[in-house]
Amino acid sequence: MGRPLRIQYPGALYHITSRGNERSKIFIDDSDRIEFLEILEDYHERYGILIHSYVLMDNHYHLVMETPRGNLLKVMHGINGGYTGFFNRKYGRSGHLFQGRYKGIIVEKESYLLQLSRYVHLNPVRARIVTKPEKYVWSSYGGYINKSKLVKWVEYTWVLSGFGRNKKEAMKKYKEFVDEGLKGGLENPFKNVYGQVVLGGEKLKEKVKTLLKGQHLSDEIVERKRFGVSFDVEDVVREVAREFGESEEAIKRKGSRDNRARKVAIYIVKRYSGLSNEKIAKIFGGIHYSAVSKVSERVRKEMEVDKKLLRMIEMLNSKFKT
């Protein structure tokens, strides 16, 4: 399983999900859930996070969380790490509690926050634990529809403001909005997730790409190809040809087995373009797609022993990496 892409910046909004290792329970009894909520409250106060909604299930949890300070990594490391420490001490165990890394989707607030809030609050209904979301006490839903159940560290205002200025009336309308989801046919908001990590329109996608520009995305990151800022392959061929004193035609022509410039061009295009091996193969004369990976691997190994080649490729990389 590849590593998830992590994006953080001030004001980012996320849908966070974290599951128990091998889908085992992370909450055994109510005191465990209370402890987890106390950790959320602590991090709300210490790190300024805004928690718009949450639900605690037996083997996983959902959070819709905003980070005004752009500190997602620190916050999630503390929340999951702190709770794991508590759980292991209480139950005399050691090792991981959560299944790998948490899943964090960055969300366009204006378009999706209302939908996500409803989606999170209906989770216990979808799991057939309760028939109505207000019957499940381990979520933020109670405070959205009943003033007596408001929690000081939950950010209700933004969602409720979408239903009017009068708070009592907004709570009523929000309940109606959630109840609509009980009638069936509720659209899953995550069907529109881009690159497994962005839920939003073109503006948000471009913002994420801009934030990632200049960063090297590891091959382990499953979304890396989606977020590489595109560049012109012809520019790569041109620069490599100039550096090696080779013709552009020779670099792209099939059958040039001993053409080192051609191999380097294939390596750079594969590493930074985000194109599939099939598309790269067509660019370089219609070679077999498997040859793209083989050539790239050979160049990588040559760089380990040939320092001159390494310096040359690093110089070329600096022009094209995103």
Is residue 217, in this structure, part of any structural domain at all?
Answer: no
What pLDDT does 232 receive?
A: 75
Q: Token pair of 218, please?
A: 């590891």
Mean pLDDT of 11-22: 94
What pLDDT does 15 receive?
A: 96
What CATH number does residue 19 fall under? 3.30.70.1290
Dist CA 276 CA 289 (whole Å): 9
- Is there a single domain that holds both residue 172 and residue 268? no
What pLDDT does 279 receive?
A: 87
**pLDDT of 84-98, one tens digit each?**
999 999 999 999 999
How many distinct structural domains can be found in the chain? 2
What CATH number does residue 284 fall under? 1.10.1750.10
Where does a domain end: 177, 212, 247? Answer: 212
- Is there a single domain that holds both residue 146 and residue 178? yes
Q: Token pair of 239, please?
A: 């620069």
**pLDDT of 244-285, one tens digit each?**
888 888 888 877 667 889 999 898 888 777 678 888 989 888
- Is there a single domain that holds both residue 123 and residue 61? yes
Is residue 35, in this structure, part of any structural domain at all?
Answer: yes
Residue 302 CB burial class (10 angstroms; 0-12, 13-18, ≥19): middle
- Is there a single domain that holds both residue 295 and residue 265? yes
Residue 45: pLDDT band with limits 50, 70, 90: very high
| pLDDT for residue 136 is more than 70 | yes
Name which of 124, 126, 59, 52 is nearest 134 in CA terms: 124
What pLDDT does 259 receive?
A: 87
Name which of 44, 25, 51 is nearest 116 in CA terms: 51
H/E stretch holding 303 reads helix 289-305
CB 17 within 8 A of CB 103: yes
What pLDDT does 187 receive?
A: 74
Q: CA–CA distance from 136 to each of 23, 59, 123, 140 (Å)?
A: 21, 15, 10, 9
**pLDDT of 100-129, one tens digit each?**
888 999 999 999 999 999 999 999 999 999
| pLDDT for residue 149 is more than 60 | yes
Where does a domain end: 153, 178, 212? Answer: 212
Name which of 1, 5, 2, 4 is nearest 209 in CA terms: 5
**pLDDT of 51-72, one tens digit each?**
999 999 999 999 999 999 999 9
- Is there a single domain that holds both residue 258 and residue 203? no
Strand partners, 50: 66
Residue 23 CB burial class (10 angstroms; 0-12, 13-18, ≥19): exposed
Where does a domain end: 212, 243, 265? Answer: 212
Helices vs strands, H then E, count in the chain: 14, 5
Residue 77 belongs to domain spanning: 12-212
Residue 215: pLDDT band with limits 50, 70, 90: low
Q: At a CB cut-off of 8 Å and minimum separation 6, what does 174 contact?
A: 144, 145, 159, 160, 163
- Is there a single domain that holds both residue 34 and residue 95? yes
- Is there a single domain that holds both residue 251 and residue 103? no
Q: Name the maximum alpha-carbon separation found in the chain.
A: 77
Is residue 1, in this structure, part of any structural domain at all?
Answer: no
Name which of 65, 161, 55 is nearest 107 in CA terms: 65
Name which of 142, 161, 194, 199 is nearest 16 in CA terms: 199
- Is there a single domain that holds both residue 185 and residue 240? no
Name which of 106, 288, 276 is nearest 201 in CA terms: 106
- Is there a single domain that holds both residue 278 and residue 172? no
Dist CA 233 CA 16 (whole Å): 37
- Is there a single domain that holds both residue 75 and residue 188? yes
What pLDDT does 322 receive?
A: 44
- Is there a single domain that holds both residue 158 and residue 306? no
DSSP state of 133: G
**Three-state secondary structure readout of 144-182:** HHCHHHCCCCECCHHHHHCCCCCHHHHHHHHHHHHHHHH
Is residue 219, in this structure, part of any structural domain at all?
Answer: no
Residue 218: pLDDT band with limits 50, 70, 90: very low
DSSP state of 305: H
